Amino acid sequence: MHEPTEQAAGLALRQFLTWVAACPRTYADTMEAWRSTCPRLSVWEDALGDGLVRIDTDGRSAMSGSRVVLTSRGQALLDHGCS
């Protein structure tokens, strides 16, 4: 059986991926909504590190204006619940 913390982390990750997929998000939007200093709530860092989201930069905009998008792996996890 999964620990409650693991289940909550999985739900938070799914919520984050759903949020990213819902409409275009900038890096600044994402940091404002999802940044955390709590080591137990590392949804943004986990999603980025696991290749579920990526930061699309156009080379002209500041990082804050770059888009955060789902990768195909992130979309698959959102669609099917598996990575």
Structural domain spans, the chain: 4-80
The structure tokens 């909550």 sit at 8
Q: Which residues are registered as beta bridge partners of 26?
A: 67
Percent of the chain surpassing pLDDT 90: 58
In degrees rounded to 5, what are phi and psi of residue 71? -85, 175
Note the pLDDT of residue 13. 93
Residues 9, 19: Cα–Cα separation, whole Å: 15
User: Looking at the whole model, is its pTM more than 0.75?
Assistant: yes
Q: Considering the domain 4-80 in this protein, what is its CATH number?
A: 1.10.10.10
Residues 51, 73: Cα–Cα separation, whole Å: 7
Tell me the pLDDT tens digit for each residue of 11-24: 999 999 999 999 99
Residues 48, 55: Cα–Cα separation, whole Å: 9
